[in-house]
Amino acid sequence: MSRFASGSRRVLSLALGVLGFVAVAAYGQTPPVNANAKALADFRTRIDAYAALHKKLEATLPALSKESTPQQIVGHQDNLAGLIAKERIAAKQGDLFTPAMQTMVRELMKQAFAHGDAKLLRASIMDENPGPVKLTINGKYPDTVPLTTMPTEVLKGLPPLPEGLEYRFVGETLILLDPHAHIIADFVPNALPKA
Amino acid sequence: MRRLTVVLLASAVSVGLIIGCQSLPGATPPPSETVTVAEQKPASPPTALPNRDGSLKFGVLGDFGTGSREQYQLAEQMVALHKRFPYELVALVGDNLYGSERPRDFETKFERPYKALLDANVKFYAALGNHDDAELQMNYKPFNMDGKHYYTFKAPKQDVRFFILESTYMNPEQVKWIEQELANSKEDWKIVYFHHPLYSSGNRHGSDVTLRETLEPLFIKYNVSIVLTGHDHLYERIKPQKGITHFLVGSGGQLRAGGSEPGLPFSAKIVDNIQVFMVAEIFENEMTFNAISRTGAIVDSGIVVRRELNAGVK
């Protein structure tokens, strides 16, 4: 029951739709490798590398047991966050979501909203949405701030993620949250389609 | 194909009436404050919990972990009731800890108020809400989540299975999982719980229609009898929707002024001005329920008859 949503037909068709649009628009001068396909493949490589790093660092910590106390669990989370921040000390916004991928994410979100009831989807995401806050890569997602709801229609429209990463919204920014460490790995500003 | 039969016996609506009824095993001394409910119906005695040997007895609690005086008062009612009505598990419908989630918070917002129940080996099974840190709570032993975002377990008595979802992150994988689990379940009673309500009169949040569109067809198809949720800070019983009875029990901690919009067609009962938990007892084909306030008043009660096995599958 990982976060890895394999075989999502919807995201595939949406991604192909975007790719098709781009391919048609550029007909006659299509490069050998479609730019969006490259962005998607590049994103996959980057998030897989992040997931591998996460796994490697977590393996250096004492494993949690079924008997772990809150102190041990919280300590584990804090230690993992510290290790990741140390290892990714130079990380900046756009390292995982490259500019090309950010453009694609915004387009995928538009597609997802076009397929669903945009008003309802937006209402669901904005329910207890913490609103615009300063986001920092490797920064702790505050435990006093609620998490936005991510509707199925929206998650179907985004590329699947490996274990240890999930999508959330903060205001209209789509963040990549590392829920084990409770830190922000990257984000895409203005990802939520306008009402 | 027989449709769901629901027998909802009349609701208790006034403190005086409730005090007059001594049938509840855990009934407490007369409450000191007035309880009003949003829906006023002709007064009638609350339905007593049968308290039978061999029945499944369980509690439902949501949106509770504030550490407030009111949370502790409600917890005292839960403890008092347990002495006479020994429920064996509590379904937590999310927002289990508000604010910070440091080790001390687990103590003040959960372990201390429910200590007597934990000591009595009452099992709490948590669903995650939007205020919950998944990583911390999934690994917190007293929440019995076994490191999982969503899971299922068979009740220790009667033919009942619970399915627990993470409604803030309903990814396609989870939807596939719940469909498989519901399809594979042979139990007479299927009870699903999660945080966001499919139906709610709450002004703050209201019904999550997108979630309803995803989940309700599965619940109908696979014969779910009961759905338990929270999120809006009130207690609400929903009239059976497509054969399924919904309870919203987001009333375990902090309330919000003007919490609900009365008169919505799906609503059967709303209590939005006092903390409430719910207890239920399943014996064979019936589930008897009471909703109890932090002053000990029974603010809602009734009986739900389960959907016939496989009635929804065709």
Mode of pairing for the β-strands spanning B89-92 and B123-126 = parallel
Instruction: Identify the pLDDT of residue B154.
Output: 98
Given a contact cutoff of 8 angstroms between Cβ atoms, the answer to whether A177 and A194 are in contact is: no
Asked if B302 and B13 touch (Cβ cutoff 8 Å), the reply is no
Residue B33 CB burial class (10 angstroms; 0-12, 13-18, ≥19): exposed
Burial A136-148 (b: 16+ CB within 10 A, else e): ebbeebebeebbb
Of B133, B141, B172, Cβ closest to residue A143: B133
pLDDT in tens, A111-143: 999 988 899 899 889 988 887 778 999 999 877
Q: Does B41 touch chain A (CB under 8 A)?
A: no
**Residue A33 pLDDT:** 65
pLDDT value of position B77: 97
Residue contact A71–B103, C-beta within 8 A: yes
Q: What is the ipTM of this complex?
A: 0.81
B208 to chain A, any CB pair closer than 8 A? The answer is yes
**B 97-116 near A (Cβ less than 8 A):** 99-103, 105-107
Q: Out of A2, A155, A181, whose CB is closest to B172?
A: A155
What is the rounded average pLDDT of the residues A51-61? 96
Find the closest chain B residue to A124 by CA distance.
Answer: B208
Which residues of chain A have a Cβ shorter than 8 Å from any chain B Cβ? Answer: 1-6, 8, 10, 64, 66-71, 73-74, 77, 116-117, 120-121, 124, 127-128, 143-144, 146-153, 155-156, 166, 179-182
> Is the separation of the CB atoms in B169 and B175 below 8 Å?
no
Closest among A159, A184, A180 to A170, alpha carbons compared: A184
**DSSP codes, B252-306:** SS---TT-B-TT-TTEEEEE-SS-EEEEEEEETTEEEEEEEETTS-EEEEEEEEP
How far is the C-alpha of A81 from the C-alpha of B290, rounded, in Å? 44
What SS3 state is found at B39?
coil
Tracing tokens 């008859």 back to the chain, one arrives at: B305
Q: Give, rounded to a whole angstrom, the gap between the first and last alpha carbons of chain B.
A: 9
Q: How far apart are CA A166 and CA B38, in angstroms?
A: 39
Q: Which of B102, B170, B196 sits opposite A74 (nearest CB)?
A: B102
- The alpha-helical segments, DSSP class H, found in chain B are 15-20, 69-84, 103-106, 115-119, 134-138, 172-184, 209-221
Segment A1-11, tens digit of pLDDT: 444 443 344 44
Backbone angles phi, psi at B134, to 5 degrees: -55, -45
Per-residue pLDDT reduced to its tens digit, A150-164: 999 999 999 999 988
Q: Which of B95, B106, B135, B196 is the best substitution to test chain A (most A C-beta atoms within 10 A)?
A: B135
Q: Check: CB of residue B86 under 8 Å from CB of residue B57.
A: yes
Contact A186, A95 (CB under 8 A): yes
Domain range annotation of chain A: 9-23+34-188
- CA B36/CA B34 separation, integer angstroms: 6
Tell me how far apart the alpha carbons of residues B117 and B24 are, in angstroms, rounded to a whole number: 19
Q: How far apart are CA B291 and CA B24, in angstroms?
A: 11
Q: What is the pTM of this model?
A: 0.86
Domains within chain B, CATH numbers bracketed = 6-305 (3.60.21.10)
**Are B127 and B165 within 8 A, CB to CB?**
yes
pLDDT in tens, chain B (314 residues): 333 334 444 333 333 223 223 344 444 433 333 333 444 354 567 899 999 999 999 999 999 999 999 999 999 999 999 999 999 999 999 999 998 889 999 999 999 999 999 999 999 999 999 999 999 999 999 999 999 999 999 999 999 999 999 999 999 999 999 999 999 999 999 999 999 999 999 988 999 999 999 999 999 999 999 999 999 999 999 999 999 999 999 999 988 766 888 889 999 999 999 999 999 999 999 999 999 999 999 999 999 999 875 444 33
Can you name the residues that pair with A167 across neighbouring β-strands? A176
User: Which residue out of A54, A72, A120, A143 would a mutagenesis test of the B interface target, given it has the greatest number of B Cβ atoms within 10 Å?
Assistant: A143
